Amino acid sequence: MSIDGKLHFNQRIQLITLSHDGIITTTDNNLFSWKKGSSIYDAHPFFEILRGFLLDDENTITEYSFPCIHLEENNLERICDVTIKLDLSEIIIMLFDYTQKYNELNQIAQQKNESILKSRELELKNEYLVEKENFKNNFIANINHEIRTPLTGIMGFIEVLEKTKLSFEQEELVRIIKRESKHLGALIEDMVDISKIEAGQLNIIHERFKFHDLIKGFKETYTKIAEKKGIEFEMYVDPNIQESLISDKTRLHQILNNILNNAFKFTDEGKVSFTIAKNYQRTNKLSINFKISDTGVGIPEKSIPKVFERFTRLQNDQRRSGTGLGLAIVKSLVEALQGDIKVTSIVNEGTTFSINLPFQFDILKTATPKPKKKKKFKLPTSDQKFKVLLVDDEEVNQYLVMKILINHGSFYVDVAMNGEQAIKYVEKRFYDVILMDIKMTVMDGYKTTHIIRNHYGDKEIADVPIIGFTAKATEAERDKCLKAGMDDFIGKPFEQDDLLNKIAKHLQKKTAQ
């Protein structure tokens, strides 16, 4: 079969004929310059496949197709579809150059793969960020509990120590320890607050409160601080501001206290000014401007945009302690209250923070009900000491609570190291009250309380008052404790009087039943 001069209209095809011994008899050399009379086996190793076809006498297939075969000649490389037809007299090979189309499809596939990879990369990145955020929140929650536990012991023993006979020097040392412990507690609260803000779990609670009483508290506190530092503290309050306002009192106190604390921290001479003025009033709504100025070290102009960022220290001064979270929390709280905050500063001249916050007030009510005082409870009259079961796996907490209760003189105290041990104790002895730590190994306080409440027909066991110890003094934690069957809970760290008051409260309830 001769192919000379045929199919030259398609430059992407090359036709070759061979003898059965592999010698090229005709070729149009459109793609490769293989010469007549040369062996196809020398042209490219791929064609060694022909030997197998020719030696197989039982093979009835006469035509073969091979897609995307890489063929090279010198520096020339093409990707071809190869068709081989076996006749009795000759072998016909057709090469179809697929290089351009292959490259185009490969590029499309590569782009698609890159798109898939980028999409997957973004997906993995998002998963990583979620995992990172969960890890951070879990870490903060756990470290919060782990720090509060020893802090409870420190604060508690300070109280015990304060009630003993101390020399003047010892009193001063106790005062310093107490101050630094409170500072540590404040740092923990900062970490918890920033975690809540980022997780969107910050609750704003609007309530009526005496605005001027709140401001008076700042005046009393910071006047004393100013006297100790030897600086002035000026304060002006607009007399036209209503006595009672509606907002989140706790968050307002947190905002102003943080800014005032910073002002005094960075002012060693001169004065701090605190001005409170009404911006405007419409029906039962008003806006108030709080301006806190100091004559302190000031903030460099380039640093001002960063003062509200997390973990940014207000000044480059290692003598000033802090987490760098205070102003980030302040800004988040101001925004949560629908307000705004601005800062201006000149190095070595001072800084001014200006905060605008909205409030509401009740037009019909001019008087504010007096805040409820925490009710004081007394222990019921008894000829015998009250039996208390303390369930806690921390030795420091055990010793602290035992010290408080035994020193009081009205209690016997048994200690269980975990929930399982507590269950064995209540089965053998009746208790007047149980103090239950929430987070314990072996069996936690929730499960232990559930068993006590639901697995016993004896009311002396099932109805025993249970007070939970928790490092999370939140409404959510309170609800969780109550749902588990506890009667009350007390946050760590706690004060002696609070613990004794709660015990007395529930013993009175039990006696009255």
Domain of residue 52, CATH code: 3.30.450.20
Per the domain annotation, does 224 fall within a domain?
Answer: yes
Helices (H) and strands (E) in the chain, counts: 13, 17
Tokens of 41: 């086996």
Cross-strand partners of 468: 436, 489
Give me the mean pLDDT over the 369-387 stretch.
77
**Residues 391 and 427 grouped into a single domain:** yes
Spatial separation of the C-alpha atoms in residues 55 and 66, rounded to whole Å? 19
Give me the mean pLDDT over the 34-54 stretch.
91
pLDDT at residue 316 greater than cutoff 70? no
Mean pLDDT comparison of 53-67, 196-210, 304-318, 335-349, highest-scoring range: 335-349
**Residues 70 and 39 grouped into a single domain:** yes
Tokens of 237: 């309050």
Tokens of 501: 């008051």
pLDDT at residue 277 greater than cutoff 90? yes
Residue in the block written with tokens 């042209």: 43
pLDDT at residue 29 greater than cutoff 70? yes
Per the domain annotation, does 168 fall within a domain?
Answer: yes
Determine the residue type at 400.
L
Confidence at residue 334, expressed as pLDDT on a 0 to 100 scale: 92
**Residues 83 and 115 grouped into a single domain:** no
Which of these ranges, 201-215, 253-267, 445-459, 465-479, has the smallest mean pLDDT? 465-479
Give me the mean pLDDT over the 269-273 stretch.
94
Confidence at residue 319, expressed as pLDDT on a 0 to 100 scale: 44
Q: Where among 65, 97, 129 does a domain terminate?
A: 97
pLDDT at residue 198 greater than cutoff 70? no
Give me the mean pLDDT over the 6-33 stretch.
84
Residue in the block written with tokens 């050399």: 29
Tokens of 445: 């306080």
Spatial separation of the C-alpha atoms in residues 220 and 165, rounded to whole Å? 30
Give the DSSP letter of residue 60: -
Per the domain annotation, does 429 fall within a domain?
Answer: yes
Tokens of 314: 């207000």
**Residues 271 and 332 grouped into a single domain:** yes
Q: What average pLDDT is seen over the chain? A: 83
**Residues 353 and 224 grouped into a single domain:** yes
Residue in the block written with tokens 């309830």: 509
Per the domain annotation, does 247 fall within a domain?
Answer: yes
Strand 386-391 vs strand 411-416: parallel, antiparallel, or unpaired? Answer: parallel
Q: Comparing 123 with 300, which gets the higher pLDDT?
A: 300
The set of long-range contacts for 173-180, using a CB threshold of 8 Å and a minimum separation of 24, is none
**Residues 178 and 129 grouped into a single domain:** yes
**Residues 356 and 395 grouped into a single domain:** no
Which of the four pLDDT bands, split at 50, 70 and 90, describes residue 322? low
Q: What is the helix (H) or strand (E) element at residue 184, kind and residue range? A: helix 168-198
Q: What is the CATH number of the domain that holds 243?
A: 3.30.565.10
Q: Give the up-direction half-sphere exposure of residue 450: CA atoms within 13 A in the CB hemisphere.
A: 10
pLDDT at residue 251 greater than cutoff 80? yes
Per the domain annotation, does 365 fall within a domain?
Answer: no
Q: Where among 97, 131, 146 does a domain terminate?
A: 97
**Residues 317 and 173 grouped into a single domain:** no
Neighbours of 166 (CB within 10 A): 13
Spatial separation of the C-alpha atoms in residues 356 and 247, rounded to whole Å? 13
Q: Comparing 359 with 101, which gets the higher pLDDT?
A: 359
Give me the mean pLDDT over the 88-98 stretch.
90
The DSSP code sequence of 283-294 is TTEEEEEEEEEE
Give me the mean pLDDT over the 78-95 stretch.
91
Which of the four pLDDT bands, split at 50, 70 and 90, describes residue 140? low
Spatial separation of the C-alpha atoms in residues 214 and 221, rounded to whole Å? 11
Per the domain annotation, does 240 fall within a domain?
Answer: yes
pLDDT at residue 364 greater than cutoff 60? no
**Residues 266 and 305 grouped into a single domain:** yes
Confidence at residue 164, expressed as pLDDT on a 0 to 100 scale: 85
* 430-467 burial code (b ≥16 CB/10 A, e <16): ebbbbbbbbbbeebbbbebbebbbeebeeeebeebbbb
Give me the mean pLDDT over the 7-30 stretch.
84
Give me the mean pLDDT over the 203-228 stretch.
89
Spatial separation of the C-alpha atoms in residues 295 and 349, rounded to whole Å? 5
Cross-strand partners of 71: 78
Which of these ranges, 144-148, 255-259, 447-451, has the smallest mean pLDDT? 144-148
**Residues 234 and 352 grouped into a single domain:** yes
Query: Which residues 6+ apart lie within 8 Å of 214 measured at CB?
Result: 249, 252, 253
Is residue 387 within 8 A of residue 431, CB to CB? The reply is yes
**Residues 75 and 109 grouped into a single domain:** no
Give me the mean pLDDT over the 216-233 stretch.
91
Per the domain annotation, does 233 fall within a domain?
Answer: yes
**Residues 181 and 86 grouped into a single domain:** no
Residue range of the domain that includes 92: 13-97
Per the domain annotation, does 203 fall within a domain?
Answer: no
Q: What is the CATH number of the domain that holds 439?
A: 3.40.50.2300
Spatial separation of the C-alpha atoms in residues 69 and 47, rounded to whole Å? 11
Q: What is the helix (H) or strand (E) element at residue 277, kind and residue range? A: strand 271-282
Q: Where among 64, 97, 130 does a domain terminate?
A: 97
Nearest to 116 by CA among 46, 177, 108: 108
Q: For residue 361, give Cα distances in angstroms to 207, 279, 285, 294.
A: 10, 15, 6, 31
Nearest to 41 by CA among 69, 57, 22: 22
Is residue 507 within 8 A of residue 465, CB to CB? The reply is yes
Query: Which residues 6+ apart lie within 8 Å of 292 measured at CB?
Result: 256, 259, 260, 263, 272, 273, 274, 275, 352, 353, 355
Confidence at residue 289, expressed as pLDDT on a 0 to 100 scale: 96
Confidence at residue 127, expressed as pLDDT on a 0 to 100 scale: 77
Give me the mean pLDDT over the 36-45 stretch.
92
Task: Please give the span between the terminal C-alpha atoms of the chain, in angstroms, as a whole number.
Answer: 116
Which of the four pLDDT bands, split at 50, 70 and 90, describes residue 12? confident
Confidence at residue 133, expressed as pLDDT on a 0 to 100 scale: 67
Nearest to 432 by CA among 412, 406, 455, 458: 412
* 263-301 burial code (b ≥16 CB/10 A, e <16): bbbbbeeebbbbbbeeeeeeeeebebbbbbbbbbbbbee
Which of these ranges, 148-152, 214-218, 231-235, 509-513, has the smallest mean pLDDT? 148-152
Q: Comparing 486 with 88, which gets the higher pLDDT?
A: 486
Q: What is the CATH number of the domain that holds 152?
A: 1.10.287.130
Q: Comparing 7 with 279, which gets the higher pLDDT?
A: 279
Confidence at residue 124, expressed as pLDDT on a 0 to 100 scale: 78
User: What's the number of domains the chain is made of?
Assistant: 4
